[in-house]
Amino acid sequence: MPSIIQLLPDHVANQIAAGEVVQRPASVVKELLENAVDAKATDIKLIVKDAGKSLVQVIDNGAGMSVTDARLCFERHATSKIRQAEDLFSLHTKGFRGEALASIAAIAHVEMKTRQDQDELGTHIIIEGSKFVSQDVAVLPKGTSFAIKNLFFNIPARRNFLKSDVVEQRHIIDEFLRVAMAHPNIHFTLYHNGSEMFNLPQSNIRQRIVNIFAGKTNEKLVPVKESTDIVSITGFVSKPEFSKKGRGEQFFFVNDRFIKSGYLHHAVMAAYEGLLKEGCQPGYYIYLDVPPHTIDINIHPTKTEIKFDDEHALYAILRSTIKHSLGQFNVAPVLDFERDPNLDTPYDYKNQEASVPTVQVDRSFNPFAEDRQQRQTYKKPDTSHWEGLYVGLKHDTETISPPAEIHFEHEEVTASLFDEEESRHEVAKMFQIHKKYIVNPIKSGMVIVDQQRAHQRILYESFLVNMTVRQAASQQLLFPLTLYFSRTEMELIAELEESLVNTGFVFETHGADHAVISGLPVNVSESEASIVLEQLLGDLQDGIPENSFSQNDSIAKSMAKSLAVKTGTFLTEKEQENLVNGLFACKEPNVSPFQKPTFITMRVEDLDKKFAL
């Protein structure tokens, strides 16, 4: 029987490996940025076109490569980071598996330019689908430039699975910011379709965070610092009052490498216990420095998951450190540069003692003497000729003739509000149970309505109609409202602006980190505006739908969820009646926008069966 197992050709093996390493353009960005950081670069530029589908280029001023290294770096399992197996447990660099460049070259057109500082000339290599097209000597600046063009050109099935440009660009920005936050000592710049999106100069950690998220980030941050034999913790957490519904600004870095850890996230949430509103998430930017031999970072292809030797101790240290910092920030001295100098004590009076006030009494003062003098000067009016006051009054009154007939307006009752049978008895009233359900009697039994889901359905259909007809009512604000967001959130708002205007929002101006709103939807109060937009941005973090109907549907669902009356809210009889009538006036009253039942019906027969047992 002939053998059926055979070795795969290199180009096929590289394409298979690319499936693990390169899932989307953001994967290419991550690998190239990490290589630039490992090359000791101090200035890194990322240039992207068409969300990475046409071009991803990373230019650095790092160490560069020799002619031999430039050719060898595209081979599988070729790396400068590992010499023996023990090196896997003492890694201080980013890339180490030696598969990234080989995998990228297998599915794209690659152009590399590199030169070392001591060399006069550099190397220019062009590769298309793992095939070397050319290798030339060229005059180049120090460092390396990787240009990845036409990603997935030879794997059209993989290219078809890519999302819209908006979604892919957001993933690229996420990877860029993670690397930039891990290395504040490097100057990072991001260009997309020819326009500069981020320019992050060399700085410390706090300045880097503020430069990225802008707005009022600086006043939200609480410093966190602790050093033990197990771990050294630095970074910042946000104050509880600045918590948000979404989980956008949450970052863990272990040895300058971004990671995701639900276990460590639980430790942070435990430190905030009792300080957050229900459903809110704090922001945190935490940097952990642990001995390399106590972690294993090679358990996931993207290296975003890490296994710790002693997770329980790390959990306890992180929780107590954050709890201690949150307890201190209210009493810590703060330099207030906006204080009013007029409230300071003048230097002339600073060291002087306060004078004791004296009490002076006028012993000759007699209040009754003044009163007696006033009584003496008062004169009674002369009433001797009082008849003269009424002269001519009788003549005036006689000229006024009384009306012949006086008519009074009255409202005629034409019919009673209720039928005679119904008016004899008290009209059945609806009532609220546990501030959650509304019970409404009907002929066959009763209807029990979930007030939150019912209101969600009413608001959802109302927003959809407004966005479709584009005639939403808006309440103008006396003073425009300025809301601050991160740059990525401002991009989302700019993309959703047309749909938000159709719901009733009126945007006056835009900035890099803020939006000025001069009008709000009728059912949105000024205090709820930021909550509604934050909830909307959190719901759409995974991606904005491409077609307008799905986009409007997502916005309507998010706003309905934010503005609907919550469980635990007391409703008056009139509010209960309006809610029930509004629900049954909807096109689909049976379910909420999230396909959950809004009401149930219980018949009298069902109740009779219960009592018959």
CB-count exposure of residue 344 (10 Å: 0-12, 13-18, 19+): exposed
Give CATH for domain 432-600: 3.30.1370.100
Quote the pLDDT of residue 504.
85
Is 453 a residue whose pLDDT tops 80? yes
- Give me Rg for the CA atoms of the chain: 38
- Of 334-338, 393-397, 485-489, give the range with the top mean pLDDT: 485-489
Domain ranges for the chain, please list them. 10-200, 205-328, 432-600
Task: Give, in order, the Cα–Cα distances in Å from 381 to each of 112, 377, 389, 393, 455.
Answer: 114, 13, 14, 22, 74
- The CA distance from 70 to 123, in Å, is 7
Judged against a pLDDT cut of 50, whether residue 479 lies above it is answered with: yes
pLDDT attached to residue 531: 82
State pLDDT tens for residues 177-198: 999 999 999 999 999 988 888 8
CA distance 421 to 118: 104
Lowest mean pLDDT among 17-26, 77-86, 164-173, 295-304: 77-86
Higher-scoring residue by pLDDT: 161, 18 = 161
Instruction: Report the C-alpha gap between 146 and 56 in whole angstroms.
Output: 8
> Binning pLDDT at 50, 70 and 90, where does residue 378 land?
low
Please, what is the average pLDDT of the chain?
80
- Tell me which long-range contacts 152-161 makes (C-beta under 8 A, separation of at least 24): 152/107, 152/108, 153/107, 153/108, 153/109, 153/129, 154/15, 154/107, 154/129, 155/15, 155/18, 155/107, 158/19, 158/107, 159/53
The confidence band for 425, taking pLDDT boundaries of 50, 70 and 90, is: very low
Question: Does the pLDDT value for residue 82 go beyond 60?
Answer: no
Most confident range (mean pLDDT) of 258-272, 374-388, 472-486 is 258-272
Does pLDDT of 64 surpass 80?
A: yes
Residue 417 has pLDDT above 50, yes or no: no
Beta-strand pair 109-115/250-254: unpaired
- In a 3-state reduction of DSSP, which class is residue 175? helix
**pLDDT-above-70 percentage for the chain:** 77
H-assigned helices in 288-362: 311-328
Give this prediction's pTM: 0.69
List the one residue out of 1, 57, 54 whose CA is nearest residue 29: 57
User: Which of left, alpha, beta for 248 (phi over 0: left; psi -120 to 50: alpha)?
Assistant: alpha
pLDDT in tens, 93-123: 655 445 778 888 888 999 999 999 999 999 9
> What pLDDT shows up at residue 332?
38
Is 500 a residue whose pLDDT tops 80? yes
Architecture of domain 10-200: 2-Layer Sandwich (3.30)
Q: What does the pLDDT read at residue 88? A: 53
Tell me, what's the pLDDT at 191?
93
User: Model confidence at 456, in pLDDT bands (50, 70, 90)?
Assistant: very high
Please tell me the predicted confidence (pLDDT) of residue 424.
45
Dihedral of alpha carbons 58, 59, 62, 68, sign: positive
Residues 129-162 pLDDT 10s: 888 889 999 999 999 999 999 988 888 878 888 8
Confidence class for position 423, pLDDT limits 50, 70, 90: very low
Written as six digits, the tokens of 534 are: 């934050």
Give the lowest-confidence range in 117-131, 445-459, 551-565.
551-565
The third-level CATH classification (topology) of the domain covering 205-328 is: Ribosomal Protein S5; domain 2 (3.30.230)
- Least confident range of 26-30, 343-347, 479-483, 587-591: 343-347
**Which pLDDT belongs to residue 426?**
46
- What percent of the chain clears pLDDT 90, i.e. is strictly above it? 24
**64-86 mean pLDDT:** 73
